[in-house]
Each structure stands twice: as structure tokens, then as C-alpha cells.
Structure 1
């Protein structure tokens, strides 16, 4: 009997929860859910606007993928933030 090695796909995340969500996506959704719960519990009706903003941001972090760079939105935010903090001009000193 022949045995074939199946290559592992390293470019994509493994969808563990129902074949729909990865661990990263589930984590973002749970954090957003808890944040919205505490905002509604604390502010009541006045928490609708902050809750809506958090929901949109969490959905972007969870599902949006930057097709130009082929990376997820959360990774893009981290890389952009590191780039903004990095020194961009190097002066030659003798």
C-alpha cells in the first residue's frame, strides 16, 4: 500500500469551529460581544453608538482581508502601527 504525504497549507488559518471560524476570529467575536454587553449594561440606550462602532471594528478585525497584501485586517493594523513608530530616515555619521 502506498503512502502519500499531503502537504499542509500554511497560508490559511485552520477553521476549527464548525469549519467557519478560526480561533483568532472566535476570540475577536467574543471580545466584541463582551465589550458590547458591558457598554449596554453601563450606559443603557446611550451606549448604542459606541456599541455600533465597536461592532463594525470587531467585524473588520474578524472577517476583512486586505487583498492587495493578502493579509488579515488585524495584522495590517499591527504592521501599519509598527511602520508609523519606526524611524524612517537614517543619517550617516562619521
Structure 2
């Protein structure tokens, strides 16, 4: 059987939202944005000064935005997987470990 190299990457996900992001990435942005939107008003009201409140809100939103960005866009190049799919495979690996016997 002869193997032929395909010049197009068939395994990558389709960028269906305006040709820029995929549906999976859009879902991450919606979830991350709603999480940031839920706790930002509370953080904003801690300090009476508006400028300091904005700076504290940006500092509080940075870790959530970084996690969302890495899960949505970062790829593990060794396995050609996005980071969230890589973590799911690693988490499922523990459930597949066991004592396997040959026989019945």
C-alpha cells in the first residue's frame, strides 16, 4: 500500500468564527469573560479611588485571562494537541491504569 503526504493539515480545527477563532476558543472566551465579569464589580468596590480600583481589577483579571488564553490558543507541539485536550488525555490516563492479566 502506497502512502501519500497530504499538503493540507487535516487534523487542525476549523476557524469558523470570522475565520479567526474556532467554536472551542469562542466558548473559552465566553466562559472566561463571564467569570471575570462576575467578580470584577466586587473587586472594583473595595477601594474608593477609581484609578487604583481599575489597576486592582486589571491585576485580578490577569490570571483568569492568562488561563483562558493558554487553554484556548496554546498547542503542545510534540503531540499536535491543544492544551485542554492534552490535559484531558492526561487526566483520563490515570483511570486506565490497572492490573491487567492475560487469559480470561
TM-score if structure 1 supplies the norm length?
0.74
Q: For residue 26 of structure 1, what is the aligned residue in structure 2?
A: 26
User: Following the alignment from structure 2 to structure 1, what is the Cα–Cα distance between the partners of residues 34 and 81?
Assistant: 26
User: Following the alignment from structure 2 to structure 1, what is the Cα–Cα distance between the partners of residues 21 and 67?
Assistant: 17
Gaps of 5+ in 1: 1-7
Cα RMSD between the aligned structures? Answer: 2.6
User: Following the alignment from structure 1 to structure 2, what is the Cα–Cα distance between the partners of residues 66 and 87?
Assistant: 22
Aligned residue among 65, 68, 74 for 2:84: 74
CA drift at 1:48: 5.0
Q: For residue 90 of structure 1, what is the aligned residue in structure 2?
A: 99
User: Which deviates further from its counterpart, 41-50 or 11-20?
Assistant: 41-50
CA drift at 1:88: 2.6
1:9-57 per-position Cα deviation (integer Å, ceiling 9, x unaligned): 6411111112110100111011111111111123335665552221111
1:30-88 per-position Cα deviation (integer Å, ceiling 9, x unaligned): 1111111111123335665552221111001110010001111110111111123x253
- Classify 1:90/1:47 alpha carbon distance in 2 versus 1 (closer, same or farther; 3 Å): farther
Aligned length: 86
TM-score if structure 2 supplies the norm length?
0.68
Decide whether the 8 Å contact of 1:39 with 1:47 is kept in 2. no
- Classify 1:82/1:49 alpha carbon distance in 2 versus 1 (closer, same or farther; 3 Å): farther
